[in-house]
Chain A
Amino acid sequence: GENVEQHPSTLSVQEGDSAVIKCTYSDSASNYFPWYKQELGKRPQLIIDIRSNVGEKKDQRIAVTLNKTAKHFSLHITETQPEDSAVYFCAASIGSSASKIIFGSGTRLSIRP
């Protein structure tokens, strides 16, 4: 069936180091891959997204890479800061219409001072 798997479920890194979160998806028709950040008690907010015709996208300290052949995409955060501590979710559109979006199970990122 349709699913998005996300790893790891928890990640702790030293402030200033890099963090990498990985996701795989099952639907070969998926063409839109957003990443959301959710702080405690708040709603999810988009931090970066990528379309299937692009292999990599960067926005300051955040980058996303996509490997369509392997059905794999990753979030990279460099020079981590305390305010990066949150839960991060990957997601993928389903089907050629891309109207349906399903999420991974989330990664709780903690930044150690």
Chain B
Amino acid sequence: KQEVTQIPAALSVPEGENLVLNCSFTDSAIYNLQWFRQDPGKGLTSLLLIQSSQREQTSGRLNASLDKSSGRSTLYIAASQPGDSATYLCAVIKGAVTGANSKLTFGKGITLSVRP
């Protein structure tokens, strides 16, 4: 059974700091990994999707890496801003011989607070 872990559960940093959020998963047979952002009481916003054959993806100040063999992904946020304060979740989709299905297995998320 796939398990996704995100540690720590919460993080507080001063504005301007570069930071790394970690995600680990137990079953390396994944189809892809997706990072999301969730603001309080809201839905999930997709940040980055990494296919299992890729090593990293970048979007603006965000960079996500994937090491399937070790079961790890990191989300790097450059020059953090107060507007980055949110909960960040990673999720994986299981791969299969016949393709994938759409079931995401989520970590519990990391609540980030960026102090002005």
Whether A and B are associated in the same complex: the answer reads: no
**What is A's interface to B at a CB cutoff of 8 Å?**
none
**What is B's interface to A at a CB cutoff of 8 Å?**
none
